[in-house]
Chain A
Amino acid sequence: MRRVALAAVLLLAACAGRQNVLNPVSPGNRQVNTLFWWMLGVGAAVWALVIVAFLWASLRARRRTREDLEVPVEPVPPEANRRATRIVGGLVALTAIILLVFLIYDFTVGRALAAHPSRALTIEIIGHQWWWEVRYLDPDPQRIVVDANELHLPAGDTVQVKLLSRDVIHSFWVPNIIGKRDLIPGYVSSIFLSPDRPGVYRAQCAEFCGHEHAKMALPVVVHPRDGFSQWLQRARTPAAAPADSLALAGRTVFLAGSCSSCHAITGEPAYASLGPDLTHLASRRTLAAGTLVNTPGNLAGWIVDPQAVKPGALMPANALAPRDLRALLAYLETLK
Chain B
Amino acid sequence: MTDPVRPLPDAPGVAPGPAAAPSPPPPLLDADALARDAERLEAVWRGPRGFWGWLTSVDHKSIGKRYIVTAFLMFLAGGIEAAMMRAQLSGPLRGLIGPDRYNQIFTTHGSTMMFLFAVPMMNAMGLYFVPLMVGARNVAFPRLNAFGYYTYLVGVVFLYVSLFVNTGPDAGWTSYVPLAGPEFSPGHRVDVWAQLVTFTEIAALAAAVNIIVTTFKLRAPGMSLNRIPIFVWSQLVVSFMIVFAMPAVATASTIQLAADRAVGTQWFNPATGGDALLWQHIFWFFGHPEVYIVFLPALGFVTPIVETFARRRVFGYTAIVLANITTGFFAFGLWVHHMFATPIPELGQSLFTAASMVIAIPTGVQIFCWIATLFLGRSRMTTAMLFVLGFLFTFVNGGITGVMLASVAFDKQVHDTFFVVAHLHYVLLGGAVLPLFAGFYFWFPKITGRMLSETLGAWHFWLFTIGVNVTFFPMHILGLQGMPRRIYTYLPETGWGGLNLLASAGAVVIAVSVILFLINVWVSWTAGAVAGPNPWASSGLDWATASPPPVYNFVHPVVVEGRHPLWDTVGPLAVLTGLRTDRREELITTTFDALPDHRHQSPRHSIWPLYLALCMGVVWIGSMFSPWFVLGGFALSLLGLLGWGWQGSRASGPELVATPHDLVEAS
Whether B376 and A168, one on each chain, are in contact in the complex, defined by CB atoms closer than 8 angstroms, is no
From A40, A64, A214, contact of B490 by CB (8 A): A214
Shortest A27–chain B CB gap in Å is: 13
A57 within 8 A of B: yes
Given the complex of chains A and B, what is the CA–CA distance between A59 and B171 in angstroms?
47
Digitize A48-69: 1 where CB-to-B-CB distance is under 8 Å, 0 elsewhere.
0011011111111111100011
Digitize A188-222: 1 where CB-to-B-CB distance is under 8 Å, 0 elsewhere.
01000000000000101111111111110100000
Q: Return the chain A residue nearest B106 by Cβ.
A: A208
A46 within 8 A of B: yes
Shortest B435–chain A CB gap in Å is: 14
From B100, B376, B411, B482, contact of A175 by CB (8 A): B482
Shortest A6–chain B CB gap in Å is: 14
Interface residues of B in 484-498 (CB under 8 A from A): 484-491, 493-495
Determine the interface band of chain B, counting residues with CB < 8 A from chain A: 35 or more
A304 within 8 A of B: no
Interface residues of B in 468-507 (CB under 8 A from A): 479-482, 484-491, 493-495
B341 within 8 A of A: yes
A167 within 8 A of B: yes
Given the complex of chains A and B, what is the CA–CA distance between A51 and B408 in angstroms?
28
The listed residue with most B CB atoms (<10 A of its CB), out of A62, A171, A208, is: A208
Digitize A267-305: 1 where CB-to-B-CB distance is under 8 Å, 0 elsewhere.
000000000000000000000001100000000000000
From A21, A50, A63, A212, contact of B482 by CB (8 A): A21
Whether A181 and B341, one on each chain, are in contact in the complex, defined by CB atoms closer than 8 angstroms, is yes
Whether A63 and B494, one on each chain, are in contact in the complex, defined by CB atoms closer than 8 angstroms, is no
The interface residues of chain B lying within 8 Å CB-to-CB of A76 are 312-313, 315, 376
Shortest A111–chain B CB gap in Å is: 8
B639 within 8 A of A: no
Shortest A141–chain B CB gap in Å is: 25
Whether A212 and B99, one on each chain, are in contact in the complex, defined by CB atoms closer than 8 angstroms, is yes
Shortest B369–chain A CB gap in Å is: 6
Interface residues of B in 306-360 (CB under 8 A from A): 308-313, 315-316, 319, 341-343, 346, 349-350, 353-354, 357-358, 360
A240 within 8 A of B: no
A88 within 8 A of B: yes
Given the complex of chains A and B, what is the CA–CA distance between A102 and B494 in angstroms?
32
The interface residues of chain B lying within 8 Å CB-to-CB of A187 are 270, 276-277, 342-343
From B389, B400, B411, B414, contact of A54 by CB (8 A): B389
Interface residues of A in 25-45 (CB under 8 A from B): 29, 31-32, 35-36, 39-40, 43-44
Interface residues of B in 386-444 (CB under 8 A from A): 389, 392-393, 396-397, 400-401, 403-404, 406-417
B145 within 8 A of A: no
A114-B346 contact given A76-B376, A206-B416, CB 8 Å threshold: yes
B215 within 8 A of A: no
B537 within 8 A of A: yes
Residues of A in contact (CB 8 Å), total 94
Whether B482 and A57, one on each chain, are in contact in the complex, defined by CB atoms closer than 8 angstroms, is no
A19 within 8 A of B: yes
B544 within 8 A of A: no
Whether A168 and B397, one on each chain, are in contact in the complex, defined by CB atoms closer than 8 angstroms, is no
Whether A103 and B354, one on each chain, are in contact in the complex, defined by CB atoms closer than 8 angstroms, is yes
Whether A84 and B375, one on each chain, are in contact in the complex, defined by CB atoms closer than 8 angstroms, is yes
Whether B364 and A95, one on each chain, are in contact in the complex, defined by CB atoms closer than 8 angstroms, is yes
A185-B408 contact given A54-B374, A59-B381, CB 8 Å threshold: no
Given the complex of chains A and B, what is the CA–CA distance between A266 and B200 in angstroms?
54
Given the complex of chains A and B, what is the CA–CA distance between A53 and B270 in angstroms?
53
The interface residues of chain B lying within 8 Å CB-to-CB of A226 are none
Interface residues of B in 82-138 (CB under 8 A from A): 98-100, 103
A122 within 8 A of B: no
A238 within 8 A of B: no
B567 within 8 A of A: yes
Whether A210 and B392, one on each chain, are in contact in the complex, defined by CB atoms closer than 8 angstroms, is no
The interface residues of chain A lying within 8 Å CB-to-CB of B400 are 43-44, 46-47
Whether A202 and B567, one on each chain, are in contact in the complex, defined by CB atoms closer than 8 angstroms, is no
Whether B407 and A181, one on each chain, are in contact in the complex, defined by CB atoms closer than 8 angstroms, is no
The interface residues of chain B lying within 8 Å CB-to-CB of A206 are 341, 415-417, 484
Shortest B58–chain A CB gap in Å is: 35
The interface residues of chain B lying within 8 Å CB-to-CB of A208 are 171-172, 176, 179, 416, 485-486
Whether A110 and B404, one on each chain, are in contact in the complex, defined by CB atoms closer than 8 angstroms, is no
From B172, B341, B378, B396, contact of A62 by CB (8 A): B378
Whether B380 and A62, one on each chain, are in contact in the complex, defined by CB atoms closer than 8 angstroms, is yes
Given the complex of chains A and B, what is the CA–CA distance between A80 and B376 in angstroms?
8
Whether B536 and A69, one on each chain, are in contact in the complex, defined by CB atoms closer than 8 angstroms, is yes
The interface residues of chain A lying within 8 Å CB-to-CB of B370 are 54
Given the complex of chains A and B, what is the CA–CA distance between A34 and B206 in angstroms?
48
Whether A19 and B312, one on each chain, are in contact in the complex, defined by CB atoms closer than 8 angstroms, is no
Whether A91 and B368, one on each chain, are in contact in the complex, defined by CB atoms closer than 8 angstroms, is yes
A54-B371 contact given A20-B480, A40-B404, CB 8 Å threshold: yes
Q: Return the chain B residue nearest A111 by Cβ.
A: B346
The interface residues of chain B lying within 8 Å CB-to-CB of A58 are 310, 374, 379, 381, 385, 389
Given the complex of chains A and B, what is the CA–CA distance between A87 and B376 in angstroms?
12
- The 10 A-B residue pairs with the shortest CB-CB distance, nearest first, are A186-B270, A179-B412, A214-B487, A189-B343, A19-B482, A43-B400, A57-B374, A57-B375, A180-B341, A106-B407
- Write 10 A-B pairs (CB below 8 A) sorted by A numbering: A15-B493, A19-B482, A21-B481, A57-B371, A58-B381, A69-B308, A75-B313, A99-B361, A103-B354, A179-B411
Apart from A70-B537, A88-B368, A213-B487, 13 more pairs, CB < 8 Å: A20-B482, A57-B374, A63-B379, A99-B361, A102-B357, A109-B409, A181-B341, A202-B482, A206-B341, A208-B171, A213-B484, A214-B99, A290-B491
Binding site for B on A (CB under 8 A): 11-12, 15-16, 19-22, 29, 31-32, 35-36, 39-40, 43-44, 46-47, 50-51, 53-64, 68-73, 75-76, 80-81, 84-85, 87-88, 91-92, 95-96, 99, 102-103, 106-107, 109-110, 113-114, 129, 167-169, 171, 173, 175, 179-182, 184-187, 189, 202, 204-215, 217, 290-291, 311-312
